[in-house]
Amino acid sequence: MVKIIGFLRDRSGLLKWLFFLWLVCTVVFDVMALRHEPHFFGDTIIGFWSGFGLLGCLAMGFICKGIYHLWLMQDEDYYDK
């Protein structure tokens, strides 16, 4: 198993491009997907959930880290002081 993981790690550049190709495929698949009755406006837009995933992830990362650095971050022995 270590050999398989090592083999894949050695080809990280190829994996990266395969990943980008996969991203394109998911959007293309969304064009073909059979849509159910929309629960809200996002269900009607092609590729909406791609943007939601990317922006949601970036927003969550920046907002949470921002609040952490501005307010929540303390030393490990904060309560022992």
**Is the distance from CB of 30 to CB of 46 less than 8 angstroms?**
yes
Least distance in angstroms from the C-beta of 48 to another protein: 8
Question: Could you tell me the smallest distance in angstroms from the CB atom of residue 44 to another protein?
Answer: 11
Q: Is 14 in the site for another protein (CB under 8 A)?
A: no
Using alpha carbons, select from 64, 59, 29 the residue that is nearest to residue 47: 29
In angstroms, give the least distance from the CB of 13 to another protein.
13
Please provide the DSSP assignment of 19-62 as one string: HHHHHHHHHHHHHHSPP-S-SSGGGGSTTHHHHHHHHHHHHHHH
- The site for another protein (CB under 8 A) is made up of 1-2, 5-6, 9, 19, 22-23, 26-27, 29-30, 32-36, 39-40, 42-43, 47, 49-54, 56-58, 60-65, 67-68, 71-76, 78-79
